[in-house]
Amino acid sequence: MPATQKPMRYGHTEGHTDVCFDDSGSCIVTCGSDGDVRIWEDLDDDDPKSINVGEKAYSCALKNRKLVTAVSNNTVQVHTFPEGVPDGILTRFTTNANHVVFNKDGTKIAAGSGDFLVKVVDVTDCSQQKTFRGHDAPVLSLSFDPKDSFLASASCDGSVRVWHISDQTCAISWPLLQKCNDVINAKSICRLAWQPKSGKLLAVPVEKSVKLYKRETWSNQFDLSDNFISQTLNIVTWSPCGQYLAAGSINGLITIWNVETKDCTERVKHEKGYAICGLAWHPTGSRIAYTDAEGNLGLLENVCNPSGKIPSSKVSNRMEEDYNDLFDGDDRSNAGDFLNDNVVKTPSFPKGFVHDDDDDDDDDAAMLASGHPRHRSHVLEDDDNSVDVTMLKTGSSLRKEEEEDDQADSIHNLPLVTPQRPFYDGPMPTPRQKPFQSGSTPLHLTHRFMVWNSIGIIRCYNDEQDNAIDVEFHDTSIYHATHLSNTLNYTVADLSREAILLACESTDELASKLHCLHFGSWDSSKEWIVDMPQNEDIEVICLGQGWAAAATSALLLRLFSIGGVQKEIFSLPGPVVSMAGHGEQLFVVYHRGTGFDGDQCLGAQLLELGEKKKQILHGGPLPLTRKSYLVWVGFSAEGTPCFVDSEGIVRMLNRGLGNTWTPVCNTREHCKGKSDHYWVVGIHENPQQLRCIPCKGSRFPPTLPRPAVAVLSFTLPYCQMATEKGQMEEQYWRSVMFHNHLDYLAENDYEYEESTKNQAIKQQQELLIKMFALSCKLEREFRCVELADLMTQNAVNLAIKYASRSRRLILAQRLSELAVEKAAGLAATQVEEEEVEEDFRKKLNAGYSNIATEWSQPMCRNQVEEEAEDTGEADDVEEKSEIHKHGHNPFSKSADSSDVPAVKSGAVTSSNQGRVNPFKVSASSKEPAASVNSARSNILDNMNKSYKKSTLNRAASNENSPVIKPLVPKPKSKQASAASYFQKRASQADKTEEVKEENPKNSSSETPALCPENTENQRQKTGFQMWLEENRSNILSDNPDLSDEADIIKKGMLQFRVLSSEERKAWAIKAKGGTASDGADTKKRKRVVDESHETEDQKEKATKNLNLPKKHKPLDLSTNQKLSAFAFKQE
């Protein structure tokens, strides 16, 4: 008996829910934990009548136009039906009643309470009451004997009792259930039931089976069970004819047995697996209404007719309709025949699928369903286990043999999942989601939102008084509200800053129309209408900047200009689901195939419709949560595609990770109740806001009263969010992702605020530094290097400083090597950019004479010399020329090498750039960092080795090259130089010494001594350096095996630490006793606060300092020595 399971719908807020039919079966009555009783004309009734009976309603019963409810104020109330007028209180308890039931003729009710009592009350005279005492725990359920002789009850004390109603004595008690202290802790509510009419059997759900006890003898006649029942049964109910028994389990399985044959005839699984707590059989026996513990209402149709049989023709017709719906217009000769042929029942199936008493009907059903009983589909071929339908009556011996043989055929051995197809147990196709307009509420509502987006709201009113459309804009200072008549019955709409777009379906007389109200037009004609071809309906529409799009039932997407010009048209790979537009971007979601087991199979295309049209997403799968569907598609206010599924997961396109989809919010985490939802209306990336409407007990809001918009925050689903590390990781990557749109805007020549990007980078680097410090405390040095790899140059410098002060020399060394690698990468990038600029200049100069101009090299050189003379640097220019002739400096910015960055914006253009220390720390710090200008710096060895070959080979061609490239503009500040590694280093170091450091020096790794010009760049020596200079010979004599400079420094540090604090302080004072010029330089460095804004006065002072006497210092210290000295220098 295949039954039809209709989709469940929201009935009440989450909690225990009860259900029953009225006497005629014309309506369904439910009650729930919201305190309401709702009267449904059908499952599709969108406006059920609601009667509020209290704060919570635990149980309801209906008979003879009397509605009885057990409510939370410890009373059992009566209301008239269907008016819902209160008709008094039947009885009271000291706690709330858990269950109420009518007797057969409706003259009495029985109620069981949490105070262990059971009462039977006369409906017409509530003073006539009988109380049954004996249970030792709250009462779970009750059931009247059809003959009014007995009353059965189940309790949390684990017992099931049968009472004599006449004298309130206990006839029998069975210890069948698990004991508990309250109903909410009970594993099962144990809704038992007497067999209708005769009352011959009492059915009690116990664990995974139903026990049936015979009347008066109270013997256990037999048990009904099924192999597919995996959880405890919660409730049982009889069919009106008394032939069938239905049971619902706590995991959502509804099982129906034929009591006479003890065979299982139906198995239906709840679509979400919620516990079945209400079960009612229609008076005619053809339908079963059920409710779950989450407040949902469901319906099974075509279960059985009054005689207990179903016409075989209904099987055939219903099966064909179901499959046609599933495959949406597929050729019936393919999928339709394949699935319909599976209706043919063969004795090779397991015992649970074939029933002795239904053979005749099964044969008829099989013949009618297929039209040719011996025909098999091309998937399930005839084999040794297949038997002609005419052999179904050959007897049980053949049946048993083939059942044993069939155990080897695994294709038939899986459990039955859905009742519509009892003999096919593979993955079941998911009905395709219908197309919808994003931001709209369901079409069947009389008052609905046609669209709600960041521009405004379009409402549609379609009732007896009016059929109209209201357009309301959020920004009323620019746009005014509009009222439109809806004579053409428009069903979909979209709204932008330029136009209103409407569309309607076709009718017998009229074609489907696309109607645009272009209120942004500068002429007087502001409307246009386009008719679609015959048999082509518009399903989804959207608006962009200067264009409109319509997806139709013919799998076509039609583009129009905003003024009504037809533009491109292309085919969609599958039926459209929804689409959205933003600027030049068009985002289309469609069915790319058939989903299975509740999953939708959707694909997405993202196109850019600007001057250079291109496709970004090429139809890849759209990732949805398991067993969910799409509910919203759109763009953030900044233009990033986003979508939301029915489970409340918001996903955003991650342009920084190859256009993948990343979940950024779970709206269900913000819901107070399980039946509450958030209806998304807009997404903003800066500030990070998810704008949505809270909907209590529903998925969409009503039009009136006007819904209030709430703002939710974004949270990426990272692990260990309770820890500081997890929180910072989530914040960092969320910041990175939510600022990817800035790069997209820059690549597509859109305007954006540079300060926004700078602020984001600052925030990200602060988070990285915090995570770096946390990893240092946890002694995770490898993790520290991984974090440093994500940092900018300035942040890496801070990390090196932190590691050095934390006495982590190995980590500092690793970070220094990482900084060198980053510098090399930046240098290569800069050279590539300059080569592109050079090629561009060559193209500009192509075809012109080589006569010297202001852009030519000699002129540039003259300009450099003139500027040098103006600043008193003519002698320095000559010295530079001499130095270039004798040796090449691989770190000098005058080196025109592809491996070394040339002067870029922000450079001082008066002379060649000098060598810059990439690890120099800002002079504003409390203690000066060790200088690393030594030519034997092992931190820079890797850079020297990588640059040495290319720079030496090209030195000859570079020595006469111009210092400054002519087309590079001279900036007004240093801010534009942030992209250059060397400029970063210089800006972080002492700005007043930048002009001094412009002089190139011979600093190749083979030359240990520096030229005199470089001595001026040396910072003040530390006490440890002074001490090491004087004690170097002693260390070497005591340790002759020390050859590496790093070993000498380590040995020196050990000896220096042994000294008393007074001695070390004396060395520090001695080191500070430098010349007046050195002291002046130090003061200048301390006064430098803002590295990006150096004043002209500071530049003039730096220029004057070039004429100070130059002192030669013994500079044979290695970088390790100076870095270590910086780390351990005492104040």
Q: What is the pLDDT of residue 472?
A: 94
pLDDT computed for residue 846 by the predictor: 57
Is the pLDDT reported for residue 1047 higher than 70? yes
Confidence check: pLDDT of 78 > 90: yes
Residue 547 predicted with pLDDT over 50: yes
Could you tell me which residue, 1109 or 541, shows the higher pLDDT? 541
| Chain position carrying tokens 């050189």 | 861
Report the SS3 class of residue 861. helix
The answer to whether residues 8 and 45 touch, using CB atoms and an 8 Å cutoff, is no
Mean pLDDT of the chain: 75
Q: Which stretch of DSSP H or E encloses residue 786?
A: helix 781-788
Rounded distance, CA 1110 to CA 649, Å?
Answer: 68
Burial of 687 (0-12, 13-18, 19+ CB in 10 A): exposed
Q: By the 8 A CB rule, do 20 and 31 touch?
A: no
Q: Which is more confident, 1041 or 394?
A: 1041
Beta strands 75-80; 66-71: pairing state = antiparallel
Sequence-separated (6 or more) residues with CB below 8 Å from residue 893:
900, 901, 902, 903, 907, 912, 913, 914, 916, 982
At residue 364, the 3 state secondary structure works out as: helix
Copy the structure tokens of residue 1045. Answer: 């400079």
Residue range 339-365: mean pLDDT, rounded? 40
- Tell me which DSSP letter residue 1092 carries: T
| Locus of tokens 């017709």 | 317
What DSSP element (H or E) covers 580? strand 576-582
**How confident is the model over 891-927, as pLDDT tens digits?**
444 434 334 333 333 333 333 444 445 554 444 434 4
pLDDT (tens digit per residue) in 312-328? 333 334 444 444 444 44
pTM of the model: 0.49
Give the amino acid at 268.
V
Assess whether the previous peptide bond of 1012 is cis (omega < 30° from 0).
no
Instruction: Indicate if the pLDDT at residue 1011 is higher than 60.
Output: no
- Above 50 in pLDDT, residue 311? no
Average pLDDT over residues 956-971: 38
1127 or 401, greater pLDDT: 1127
Q: Is 880 exposed, middle or buried (0-12, 13-18, 19+ CB in 10 A)?
A: buried
d(C-alpha 202, C-alpha 223), whole Å: 11
| 822 Cβ neighbours under 8 A, 6+ residues apart | 793, 796, 981
Task: Report residue 516 CA to chain centroid gap.
Answer: 34
CA distance 349 to 404: 9
Q: Answer whether residue 837 shows pLDDT above 80.
A: no
Residues linked to residue 542 through DSSP beta bridges, in sequence order: 549
**Do 159 and 177 contact (CB within 8 A), yes or no?**
yes
| pLDDT category of residue 841 using cuts at 50, 70 and 90 | low
Is omega for the bond preceding 705 within 30 degrees of 0, making it cis?
yes
What pLDDT band is residue 452 in, cutting at 50, 70 and 90?
very high
Distance separating alpha carbons of residues 363 and 348, to the nearest angstrom: 15
- Tokens encoding 761: 């980078």
Q: How confident is the model at residue 140 (pLDDT cuts 50, 70, 90)?
A: very high
What's the pLDDT tens digit per position in 472-530? 999 988 888 999 999 999 999 999 999 999 999 999 889 999 999 999 888 988 899 99
What is the pLDDT, as a whole number, of residue 590?
A: 97
Question: What distance in Å separates the CA atoms of residue 408 and residue 411, rounded to the nearest whole number?
Answer: 9
pLDDT greater than 60 at residue 158 = yes
pLDDT at 1028: 85
Pair of tokens at residue 622: 């759209």
pLDDT score for 840: 66
* Three-state SS at 471: strand
Q: Quote the CA–CA distance of 36 and 384 in Å, as a whole number.
A: 59
Tens-place pLDDT, residues 261-302 = 888 988 899 888 899 999 999 988 788 999 999 999 999 888
- The answer to whether 294 touches 16, Cβ cutoff 8 Å, is no
Q: How far apart are CA 609 and CA 547, in angstroms?
A: 9
* Per-residue pLDDT at 386 exceeds 90: no
CB 776 within 8 A of CB 808: yes
DSSP string, 265-321: EEEEE-TT-PPEEEEEE-TTSSEEEEEETBSEEEEEESS--TTS---HHHHHHHHHH
- pLDDT for 711: 96
* pLDDT tens, position by position, 172-220: 999 999 888 888 888 899 999 999 988 899 999 999 899 999 988 899 9
Q: Are residues 448 and 703 in contact, defined by beta-carbon separation less than 8 angstroms?
A: yes
**The pLDDT of residue 436:** 96
pLDDT-derived band at 833, boundaries 50, 70, 90: confident
Q: What is the pLDDT of residue 884?
A: 42
pLDDT (tens digit per residue) in 602-639 = 999 999 998 888 999 999 999 999 999 999 999 999 99
Between CA 664 and CA 1065 the distance in angstroms is 56
Per-residue pLDDT at 638: 93
Quick one: which of 272, 280, 184, 182 has its CA closest to 674? 272
Give which of 437, 454, 550, 448 is closest to 492, Cα–Cα.
Answer: 437
**What pLDDT digit, counting tens, does each position of 965-1007 carry?**
333 344 434 334 333 433 334 344 343 344 344 443 343 333 3
* pLDDT exceeds 80 at position 441: yes
Confidence bin at 1068 (pLDDT 50/70/90): confident
Confidence of residue 68 (pLDDT cuts 50, 70, 90): very high
For residue 1019, name the pLDDT band (cuts at 50, 70, 90).
low
Determine contact, residues 790/768, Cβ cutoff 8 Å. Answer: yes
Would you give the DSSP letter of residue 596?
B
With CA atoms as reference, report the closest residue to 353 among 457, 172, 227: 227
User: What sign does the CA torsion over 1055, 1057, 1061, 1065 have?
Assistant: positive
Higher pLDDT, 476 or 665: 665
Identify the bridge partners of residue 683 per DSSP, sorted by sequence position: 690
Arithmetic mean of pLDDT, 95-123: 92
Q: Any idea what DSSP says for residue 353?
A: G
The whole-number pLDDT of residue 600 equals 95
